């Protein structure tokens, strides 16, 4: 049964790999639609043409993308033609995510009766050919002083961003930026200098904000930034906060250093409005609040969010103190071998012993540590402390693997290799007993860097586990790309493993994939005997969870280790 299952998976993987190579290699943008016109697949050329990521358009109705179809009002009508005649051919225009417009020849055809893969749309980029016409339209869409998209294009783009966010369940931030006292500058230095200042300021904004965000000139000294793919308020706050700070670096215009400050107001889709007009109006109101508060600052439209910002500032300050006062602790949760019942390792989980408030869980502070980069010094401490405790365990006769959680920030900004080497040599811990837990998304954010790092770590014997596996990309390809040792099945799949057929399918597939690739499968969050029985049946290798032991202090870990009778019955 298991053999057959494995073979099937291998076969399917081969087929998929071949097809996806083929689709990736063609120059035309390609989109596959189901019978209701939702996107079920797209290739790289399509995402280059539109600036949209493949994963964000997946499941999205093509008609909701802001595209104009020659001679027909919407893509719905195009589909009608295809349903009747089998194909449709014509020109298509759209705006790339970076604000530039594109044109393409398109062919829409029915390809199969499979309701999931019913139609294919091919886009042949003709933007260059059309660049003359495009430059004419750009006059209507761009501001001649700063070359930024103007208000008209902003409206169109924002409408598209809202539609995309609605499909993906994400937020969009609209940031209204106004230069403080611009009138004074203009009056005292003249309009000519004022214009030059605006130009330089526009350049500075473009280089500050990522390419995927739109920076537009709203009018006068007002600019509007549209930020898509917003998964947390904290991220927006971080971006806008550092933009406001960076604006105070002087701008050189005609050999004069001009000091400006800015005020910014933020509104968020869907909390503060669901159409461009409302979002722009509310961001403008928030910007005026920032001015009233004394300029050189930013405000959210929603009062609650402003409170959150204040709370966060306090938390950030307290976290900085916590590092200095050595208030962090490591708790350890044992991991068991499901065949032998023996403890094979422990996961180090951080806790904050906050003066007067007891021991805090990471959920209440780790996201702030991540956003403010404090996770870097905290992470350094965790690695060192875990190696130190690992060595203590070893000396007490418990040769256990110690797993340490590594965040995306650490992967991108820290020389982890040196850090790990240093921690190991200073504590005399064995590198082959150190394991790093990294999430899929952290790996994917730092693909090349992570691969080099993991390869080097592997040479030294350090192992790597993929944490929370199944919750994000779960693309099989990257498993081969990174040298990893273990897949940790996210605890959300384990929770209902005995009742929810979807979770059963996911968990058993992860186990099969792990074994196919020669990796170990580790189940997280095992709380009941039934879950344990199921996991053993499916030959999951290791498990951790409250059933065996919650995360405990080092002293209590020793007690757990000395009392192995809690281990598993067969
Ligand atoms: P994680 O790495 O997935 O850790 C497992 C979490 O599941 C831990 O939460 C653990 O207490 C909890 N857990 C274990 N067994 C069970 C169970 O049977 N049922 C349930 N409901 N939960 C269980 P914790 O300690 O609150 O940590 C949460 C997250 O914080 C960790 O998730 C990890 O992503 C992060 N974290 C913890 N320590 C560190 C650290 O030192 N550095 C970094 N970057 N992140 C850390
Ligand atoms: Mg973990
Ligand atoms: Mg986990």
Cα(347) to centroid of ligand 1, in Å?
9
Nearest protein CA to atom 20 of ligand 1, as residue: 525
Domain boundary among 131, 163, 191: 131
Segments of 28-86 assigned E as strands: 29-33, 39-42, 67-69
Structure tokens at 511: 């186990």
Integer Cα distance of 240 and 232 in angstroms: 13
* Ligand 1: nearest atom to the Cα of 437: 2
**112 is a domain residue:** yes
Same domain? For 149 and 296 the reply is yes
- Whole-number pLDDT of residue 395: 96
pLDDT in tens, 192-225: 889 999 999 999 999 898 766 899 999 889 999 9
Atom 34 of ligand 1, residue of closest alpha carbon? 405
For ligand 2, a single-atom ion, the residues with CB < 5 A are: 405, 437, 467
**Ligand 1 neighbour 524 (Cβ under 6 A):** yes
Q: Are residues 160 and 17 in the same domain?
A: no
Ligand 1 atom closest to residue 331's alpha carbon, by position in its atom list: 25
Structural domain tally of the chain? 2
Q: Are residues 171 and 266 in the same domain?
A: yes
Give me the residue label for tokens 């004394």.
294
Handedness of CA 222, 226, 227, 233 (dihedral sign): positive
* 114 and 149 belong to one structural domain: no
Residue 262 lies in a domain: yes
Q: Same structural domain for residues 25 and 63? A: yes
Instruction: Tell me whether residue 294 is in a domain.
Output: yes
Q: Are residues 99 and 163 in the same domain?
A: no
Based on the domain organization, do 106 and 204 belong to the same domain? no
3-class secondary structure, 264: strand
Q: Between the CA of residue 263 and those of 48, 117, 145, 296, what are the distances in Å? A: 34, 49, 21, 5
Asked if residue 403 has its Cβ within 6 Å of ligand 1, the reply is no
Contact 193, 147 (CB under 8 A): no
| Torsion-angle region of 219 (φ positive above 0: left; ψ -120 to 50: alpha; else: beta) | left
CATH number of domain containing 97: 3.30.450.20
Cα–ligand 2 centroid distance for 552 (angstroms): 15
Q: How far does the centroid of ligand 3 lie from the alpha carbon of residue 509, in Å? A: 18
Nearest one of 60, 137, 54, 59 to 101, comparing CA atoms: 137
Distance (Å, whole) CA 296 – CA 260? 9
pLDDT in the model for residue 117: 82
Mean pLDDT of the chain: 88
Q: Tell me if 346 CB under 6 Å of ligand 1.
A: no
Cα–Cα distance for residue pair 201/155, rounded to 1 Å: 22
- pLDDT tens digits along 274-309: 999 999 999 999 999 888 888 888 999 987 777 777
296 shares its domain with 275: yes
Question: Under 8 Å CB-to-CB from 335, ≥6 apart: which residues?
Answer: 343, 344, 345, 346, 347, 401, 403, 522, 542, 543, 544
Say what the pTM is.
Answer: 0.59
Binding site membership of 370 for ligand 1 (Cβ less than 6 Å): no
Give the ligand at the shortest distance from the Cα of 381.
1
Determine, yes or no, domain membership for 406.
no
Give the span between the Cα atoms of 364 and 223, in whole angstroms.
35
DSSP for residue 62: G
267: β partners: 174
CATH of the domain at 188: 3.30.70.270
**% pLDDT > 90, the chain:** 51
Q: Which long-range contacts (CB under 8 A, 24 or more apart) does 463-466 make?
A: 463/401, 463/432, 463/434, 463/435, 463/436, 464/435, 464/436, 464/437, 464/438, 465/403, 465/435, 465/436, 465/437, 465/438, 465/522, 466/437, 466/438, 466/439, 466/440
Tell me whether residue 77 is in a domain. Answer: yes
The H-or-E segment that residue 452 falls in is: helix 447-460
Q: Which atom of ligand 1 is nearest to the CA of 439?
A: 34
| Domain assignment present for 491 | no
| 380 domain residue, yes or no | no
Atom of ligand 1 nearest to the CA of 547: 18
Question: 131, 152, 186: which is the final residue of a domain?
Answer: 131
C-beta 360 within 6 A of ligand 1: no
Q: Encode pLDDT of 502-554 as tens digits.
A: 888 889 988 998 998 899 999 999 999 999 999 999 999 999 999 999 999 99
Pair (111, 170) in one structural domain = no
pLDDT at 566: 43
Which of 348, 389, 405, 492 for mutating ligand 1's site (highest number of atoms within 8 Å of CB)? 405
- Residue 470 CA, ligand 3 centroid: distance in Å: 10
Same domain, 259 and 169: yes
pLDDT at residue 520 in the model: 97
Q: Among residues 69, 99, 131, which one ends one of the domains? A: 131
In a domain, 13, yes or no: yes
Residue 183 has a pLDDT of: 86
Whether the per-residue pLDDT at 568 is higher than 50: the answer is no
Same domain, 175 and 73: no
Q: How far apart are CA 165 and CA 80, in angstroms?
A: 26
Q: Are residues 155 and 112 in the same domain?
A: no
**Which residue range is the domain that position 7 belongs to?**
3-131
Q: What is the mean pLDDT of residues 6-11?
A: 77
> Measured between alpha carbons, how far is 160 from 512 in angstroms, rounded to an integer?
41
């Amino acid at each position: 049964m298991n053999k057959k299952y494995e073979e099937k998976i291998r076969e399917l993987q081969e087929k998929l790999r071949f097809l996806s190579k083929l689709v990736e290699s063609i120059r035309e943008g390609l989109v596959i639609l189901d019978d209701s016109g939702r996107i079920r697949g797209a290739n790289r050329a399509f995402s280059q043409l539109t600036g949209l990521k493949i994963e964000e358009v997946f499941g999205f109705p093509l008609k909701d993308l802001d595209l104009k179809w020659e001679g027909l009002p919407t893509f719905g009508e195009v589909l009608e033609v295809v349903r009747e005649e089998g194909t449709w051919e014509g020109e298509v225009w759209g705006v790339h995510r970076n604000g530039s417009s594109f044109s393409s020849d398109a062919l829409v055809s029915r390809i199969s009766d499979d309701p999931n893969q019913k139609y294919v749309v091919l886009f042949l980029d003709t933007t260059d050919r059309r660049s003359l016409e495009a430059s004419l339209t750009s006059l209507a869409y761009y501001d001649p002083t700063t070359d930024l998209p103007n208000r008209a294009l902003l409206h169109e783009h924002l409408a598209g961003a809202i539609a995309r966010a609605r499909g993906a369940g994400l937020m969009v931030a609209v940031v209204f930026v106004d230069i403080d006292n611009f009138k004074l500058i203009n009056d005292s230095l003249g309009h000519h200098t004022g214009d030059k200042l605006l130009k330089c300021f526009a350049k500075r904004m473009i280089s500050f904000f990522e390419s995927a965000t739109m920076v537009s000139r709203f009018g006068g000294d007002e600019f509007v930034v549209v930020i898509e793919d917003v998964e947390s308020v904290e991220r927006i706050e971080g971006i806008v906060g550092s933009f406001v700070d960076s604006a105070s670096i002087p701008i050189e215009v005609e050999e004069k250093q001009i000091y400006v400050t800015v005020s910014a107001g933020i509104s968020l889709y869907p909390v503060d409005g669901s159409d461009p007009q409302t979002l722009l109006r509310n961001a403008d109101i928030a910007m005026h609040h920032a001015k009233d508060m004394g300029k050189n600052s930013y405000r959210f439209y929603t009062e609650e969010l402003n409170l959150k910002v204040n709370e966060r500032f306090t938390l950030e300050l307290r976290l900085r103190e916590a590092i200095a006062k050595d208030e962090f602790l490591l708790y350890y949760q044992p991991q068991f071998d499901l065949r032998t019942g023996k403890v094979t390792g422990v996961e180090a989980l951080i806790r904050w012993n906050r003066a007067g408030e007891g021991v805090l869980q990471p959920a209440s502070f780790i996201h702030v540590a991540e956003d403010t980069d404090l996770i870097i010094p905290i992470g350094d401490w965790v690695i060192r402390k875990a190696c130190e405790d690992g060595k203590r365990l070893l000396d007490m006769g418990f040769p256990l693997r110690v797993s340490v959680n590594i965040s995306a920030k650490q992967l991108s900004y820290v020389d982890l290799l040196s850090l790990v080497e240093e921690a190991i040599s200073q504590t005399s811990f064995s590198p082959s007993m150190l394991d790093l837990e990294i999430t899929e998304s952290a790996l994917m954010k730092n693909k090349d860097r992570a691969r080099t790092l993991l390869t080097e770590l592997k040479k030294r014997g350090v192992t790597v586990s993929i944490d929370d596996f199944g919750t994000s990309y779960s693309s099989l390809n990257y498993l081969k790309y990174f040298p990893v040792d273990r897949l940790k099945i996210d605890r959300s799949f384990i929770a209902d493993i005995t009742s929810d057929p979807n979770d059963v399918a996911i968990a058993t597939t992860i186990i099969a994939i792990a074994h196919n690739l020669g990796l170990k499968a580790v189940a997280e969050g095992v709380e009941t005997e039934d879950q344990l029985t199921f996991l053993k049946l499916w030959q999951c290798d290791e498990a951790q969870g409250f059933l065996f032991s919650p995360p405990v202090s080092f002293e209590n870990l020793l007690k757990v280790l000395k009392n192995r009778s809690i281990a598993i019955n067969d």
